[in-house]
Structures are given as C-alpha cells and as structure tokens.
Amino acid sequence: MSQEKLLETLRQGLRDELSAAVNYTRLSAKIKNTALKKAFLNYAIDEMKHAQNLTALLEAMGASGDEILLAENIDDDLYIHLVNYIACEEAAIFYYDILEKLFVNEEIKLTLKQIQMEEERHLTNISEIFNKLKSGEYING
Ligand SMILES: [Fe+2]
Ligand SMILES: [Fe+2]
C-alpha cells in the first residue's frame, strides 16, 4: 500500500472515531436512564482516545491536518441509532484488523490490537443494550 493510501485509510478511521465519539455523546445527553447515560459516555471517551491514537499516527507519518467532515447521526429513533452503532462497531473491528496488518512496528501493532479489543467490547455491550431495550428491561430509554 502506498504512503498516500495509508494516510487516507488513517483519515477515514479518524473520521469514524470522531463521529462515533460525537454520536455517543449526543445519545448519552439525550437518554434518560442513568446507567445507559454513563455507558454511552464511556464509549464516547473510548472513541475519543482511539481518535487521539490515529491522530498521533498521522502526525508521526508527517500528514497534514485536514478538516474532517463528521458522519453525525441525527435520527430520533433510539433503535435505529443502536442498529447503526452495532454496524459501526463491527466495521471498526474489521478496520483495525486490516490496519494492524499494514504496520510492522510492534508498538503500533499492539496499540491497534488493543483498540480492536475495545471495539469488540463495544460491540458486545451495545448488542446487549439493544437486546435489553427490546425485551423492555430499560424503561424511559
Ligand atoms: Fe473506536
Ligand atoms: Fe467502538
């Protein structure tokens, strides 16, 4: 993969991480259940940290700082949000799996593997939240 293509891949990942952080923050603000509020705020913090990692990688590779257009989720339906987030987390797991293989530096590979594990945790947890909401376990979602 060319250097420019790799930078583009990193920028796409950064856009997805920042978008996820914003979307989870927005959902946390909107949702009434405090356990869910906390959960989504934690996911937002994780995604923000992933964005920092990718930004550091871009910086280390000498990339210029371009403006990033966020993919913001403005739909009102909580279920649609959750289905989108589950899909995003699945995509993130796949993304970090590929990205890790593009680097040879062991430290970078380890960081990317750790991020991938966090995305796996997000996928599991958000899928659980989705199922609980569907079965009516949370009231006032
Ligand atoms: Fe992430
Ligand atoms: Fe995630």
Whole-angstrom distance, CA of residue 110 vs CA of residue 106? 6
How far is the centre of ligand 2, averaged over its atoms, from the C-alpha of 5 (Å)? Answer: 23
Q: What is the pLDDT of residue 28?
A: 94
Report whether 6 contacts 61 (CB < 8 A): yes
* Confidence check: pLDDT of 140 > 60: no
Q: Selecting from 1.10.3720.10, 3.30.1490.120, 3.40.50.300, 1.20.1260.10, what CATH number does the domain 3-134 have?
A: 1.20.1260.10
| pLDDT tens profile 92-103 | 999 999 999 999
64: pLDDT confidence band, cut at 50, 70 and 90? confident
Question: The tokens 């934690």 sit on which residue?
Answer: 42
Average pLDDT estimate for 106-114: 98
- Domain map of the chain by residue range? 3-134
Q: How far, in Å, is the centroid of ligand 2 from the Cα of 87? A: 10
Q: What is the model's pTM?
A: 0.93
Q: 């899928």: which residue's tokens?
A: 127
